[in-house]
Amino acid sequence: MVKVDYLQNITSLAKRRGFIFPSSEIYGGFAAVYDYGHYGTLLKNNIRDAWWRAMVQLRDDVVGLDSAIFMHPTTWKASGHVDSFDDPQVDCKKCKSRWRADHILEQFGISADKQPIEFLNAELDKLRQDKKLKCANCGSTDLTQAKRFSLMVKSNLGSPTDALSEENAVYLRPETCGGIYLEYKNTLDATRVKLPFGIAQVGKAFRNEIVARQFIFRTREFEQMEMQYFLHPSMMKEKYEEWKQVRWNWYLEYGMGEDIIRWYEHEKLAHYASEAYDIEYNFKALGGFKEVEGIHARGDWDLSQHSKFSGQDLSYTDSQSGEKFIPHIIETSAGLNRLVFMFLDYAYCEEGEGEEKRTVLKFDKRLSPIKAAVFPLLKNKPELVAKAREIYDMLKLEFMCEFDDNGNIGKRYRRQDEIGTPYCVTVDFDSLEKGDVTVRDRDTMAQERVKISALSDYFRDFL
């Protein structure tokens, strides 16, 4: 059996069909940054909206926020990012490839997550002595010691000098939750929420990742969907379990089976955290389970630090008991682009043989970029084209639709399969006489006749 190279196939389909393009290609590319084309943008927006619906719209205890990417630089000193948000970097002296020391060690079964640099170098030295340490790109054994590499991305925004220095550095946020902590007090005062409550936001984050080779899995510019839930510490255990379940169920609701997602429990916790679990998805394209979302019990560290550095009182006073305390926080943090990759990976199928072979993206229908494509059977019959246009104009008011009269019907089906459109509607001569059309289902390829007047209801039922 021929082994399918999923990473290659998904990457090339994503580009060919207008989901995701490598950035700045006409200038030779720009590593670890990607642009989203028409279908990629629609898919990403649908995932974002599905998350927002579950996390904000359907809940009474979570409100929304859209905070700025740039924040006062002290924010990131208070959070510890300026001093210690870094990864251990190893360079190949021969081919100049860059590697992460923890990733190298993990390939040898050595648990290296969040370990001190001295530990990493000691383990690398052992591999070096055993002649096992080699550059995965060129095979050279001439690799540097591991050194700390800051992931913070700097700018000189608003600075009167052209030169970027430590004094005028303003950071692009490395995670979106920083904005939530700074707007916690305003939100509390302005929206009449009471503890326990959450603030959710979706937005860009930037990290100077050392290694970013796995398509959109790890990029330098990406989007996060984060929610911070503020509560009294006595509720932590109960609410943490509740949020874990809520997030797990969200993945199940959008088609993930319990065999392809799993929990990963962090062994080494940040000093302020009491529990941290990741949801991992088994990527076909990456050959195994990888993190897509983190759910963390963060204690009162974030608000305490911002209170200390800003001099502002960020405590909460319970209106009934009068107790004054700094709220503790549960965080749910998912990467939107990573979820785009997860849903693409999950949906990607190659089916059939020879003439019947097709590539199809079997997205959950609610996430599909295009919900229905409308075709006239023949391009050169004006009455069919006019009827198909009329149906398209009616459906597009409610659903993201496409009109296509290019090539034969088989080719049009194949194209819609490759962008994951759940329904294709074909208008033929019977449609003109009887007022019905053929609706073809993406997954089963079954076709049925549906009255034009019933089409909107038909799609509403499925979508």
282 binds ligand GAP (CB under 6 A): no
Taking CB under 6 A as the binding criterion, the range among 4-12, 326-334, 388-396, 449-457 that sits at the site for ligand GAP is: 326-334
Which of 252/432 has CB closer to ligand GAP? 252
For residue 191, CA distances in Å to 64, 178, 182, 317, 327 come to 10, 19, 15, 16, 17
Taking CB under 6 A as the binding criterion, the range among 23-31, 218-226, 368-376, 408-416 that sits at the site for ligand GAP is: 218-226
Label the pairing between strands 423-427 and 436-441: antiparallel
CB of 31 to ligand GAP, least distance (A): 12
Nearest C-alpha neighbor of 443 from the set 367, 353, 377, 347: 347
209 binds ligand GAP (CB under 6 A): yes
Q: Give the contacts of 289 (CB within 8 A, at least 6 positions apart).
A: 262, 264, 280, 281, 282, 283
SS3 (DSSP) at 275: strand
Which one among 208, 333, 421, 426 touches ligand GAP, defined by CB under 6 A? 333
Write out the binding residues for ligand GAP, residues 15-34 only, by CB under 6 A: none
Annotate 290-325 with DSSP letters as a single string.
EEEEEEEEEETHHHHHHHHHH-----EE-TTT--EE
Taking CB under 6 A as the binding criterion, the range among 132-140, 215-223, 245-253, 373-381 that sits at the site for ligand GAP is: 215-223
Nearest C-alpha neighbor of 137 from the set 106, 100, 96: 96
255 Ramachandran zone, left/alpha/beta (phi>0; psi -120 to 50) = left
Taking CB under 6 A as the binding criterion, the range among 114-122, 249-257, 280-288, 291-299 that sits at the site for ligand GAP is: 291-299
| Rounded (10°) CA dihedral 404, 407, 412, 415 | -100
Which one among 177, 303, 347, 385 touches ligand GAP, defined by CB under 6 A? 177
Taking CB under 6 A as the binding criterion, the range among 44-52, 216-224, 343-351, 404-412 that sits at the site for ligand GAP is: 216-224
| Rounded (10°) CA dihedral 122, 127, 128, 131 | 170
CB of 334 to ligand GAP, least distance (A): 5
Label the pairing between strands 86-91 and 98-100: antiparallel
In the structure, how many helices (H) and strands (E) does the chain have?
15, 23
Taking CB under 6 A as the binding criterion, the range among 12-20, 221-229, 258-266, 419-427 that sits at the site for ligand GAP is: 221-229
Which of 33/409 has CB closer to ligand GAP? 33
Which of 34/423 has CB closer to ligand GAP? 34
Q: What's the chain's Rg over C-alpha atoms?
A: 26
CA atoms within 13 A on the CB side of 93: 6
294 binds ligand GAP (CB under 6 A): yes
207 binds ligand GAP (CB under 6 A): yes
Q: What angle do CA 228, 232, 233 make, to 5 degrees?
A: 95
Which one among 196, 335, 376, 422 touches ligand GAP, defined by CB under 6 A? 335
CB of 19 to ligand GAP, least distance (A): 16
Which one among 87, 123, 293, 404 touches ligand GAP, defined by CB under 6 A? 293
Q: Give the contacts of 151 (CB within 8 A, at least 6 positions apart).
A: 85, 86, 87, 174, 207, 208, 209
Which of 214/310 has CB closer to ligand GAP? 214
Taking CB under 6 A as the binding criterion, the range among 9-17, 193-201, 214-222, 260-268 that sits at the site for ligand GAP is: 214-222
Round to whole Å and give the CA distance between 395 and 212.
Answer: 41
Which one among 46, 79, 307, 337 touches ligand GAP, defined by CB under 6 A? 337
334 binds ligand GAP (CB under 6 A): yes
Residues in contact with ligand GAP by CB under 6 A are: 175, 177, 207, 209, 218-219, 222, 224, 226, 291-294, 331, 333-335, 337-338
